[in-house]
Structure 1
Amino acid sequence: MSEKKINILYVDDEENNLVSFKAVFRIKYQVFTAIDTIEAMKILEAEPVEIIITDQRMPNMTGTQFLEKVLERFPDPMRILLTGYSDISAVTEAVNKGKIYHYLTKPWNEEELDATIKRAFEAYEANQQLKEMNDKLAVSNGQLEFLLRQRLLS
């Protein structure tokens, strides 16, 4: 893993959960917290975030709805859903619509959540490398096509 701290956004409408999360993970990670989805979107616009962790049950929209919105503008961060409810339809919806990486129940277990964050970041880095390689391949293909056209025309 790189020297840079992983940037994590944690969204939860319960202040105590935000404080607890930050207290546990602030030394290891760069933690941003948001009490609602509006604040969360402002943070995403201002800060590069690799991992988003959100509660499912919030007043203005569910975590799944929030992650759907995030996907439209910020497709790269890995998404983790936390919920205290064992609502399988919410989990299914989160997987299908919010394209979540992982689902955990509340109250979260520190070791399990930490391990999930690490795996999510490894997946994030692999996705970024793949994206970079695809971009290089597209440039190479463009150059090759140009050279072939030049040859055909001469």
Structure 2
Amino acid sequence: MADKKISVLYVDDEENNLFSFKAVFRIKYQVYTAISGDEALKILAEKPIQVIITDQRMPAMTGVEFLEKVIPIYPDPIRLLLTGYADMNAVVDAINKGKIFHYLTKPWNEEELDMTINRAFEAYLEKIKLKKENEKLGMSNEQLEFLLRQKLLS
């Protein structure tokens, strides 16, 4: 994907983390940052995001709560959760409710996060491919049903 950068949305209530993430990854990826879940939802409404990375511990809305809001509206982006706390309940919630692709601990390791973003993007591409194939099959089924109805009526 040399011609177009992977679009990544990073959500964290700590501004220093947003600056660090952008500084490290802005050359390689199209980076968007948000200081809250609400701000991130606004970005999702305006930008085609492929990978979402969110911190778990945020004041107004946890990472899992944010992802739960994202799923019904924007189901395609692949979701990653970051947390500095060894909170297994948050991880379980993230997997079950936030349908995350991967969980990482803070502070993040640049190389591990980079590899995870790339794997998440591969999963995104596969998801879009399957979605398109299903749409084609759906259209084929509709056409078959129409032809079958025509045959039954004649």
- What interval of TM-score do these two structures reach, taking the shorter chain for normalisation? over 0.9
TM-score, normalised to structure 2, is 0.97
Equivalent residue for 1:114?
114
Q: Counterparts of 1:90 and 1:149 in 2: how far apart (Å)? A: 51
Q: Specify the SS of the correspondent of 2:80.
A: strand
AA of the residue aligned to 1:37: G
Give secondary structure in 2 for the equivalent of 1:57. coil
Return the offset for 1:151: 2.1
- Distance, in Å, in 2 between the alignment partners of 1:98 and 1:144 is 37
- Which residues of 2 match residues 5-154 of structure 1 at below 5 A? 5-154=5-154
Tell me the SS of whatever aligns to 1:9: strand
Runs of 4+ in 1 over 6 A off after TM superposition: none
The aligned length equals 154
Q: Any stretches of 5+ residues in structure 1 without a counterpart?
A: none
Residue 2 of structure 1: how far off its partner (Å): 5.9
Deviation at 1:144, TM superposition (A): 1.2
Write the deviation string for residues 42-98 of structure 1: whole angstroms up to 9, x where unpaired: 100011101100001011011011111111211111000000001111100110000
CA distance in 2, matches of 1:115, 1:71: 23
Distance 1:149 1:91 in 2: 50
Cα distance between partner residues in 2 of 1:10 and 1:110: 14
Q: Secondary structure at the match of 1:90?
A: helix
* Aligned-partner Cα distance in 1 for 2:72–2:144: 33
Distance change (3 Å), C-alpha of 1:2 and 1:129: farther
User: Per-residue CA shift, 1:114-139, capped at 9, x if unaligned?
Assistant: 00000000001101100000000010
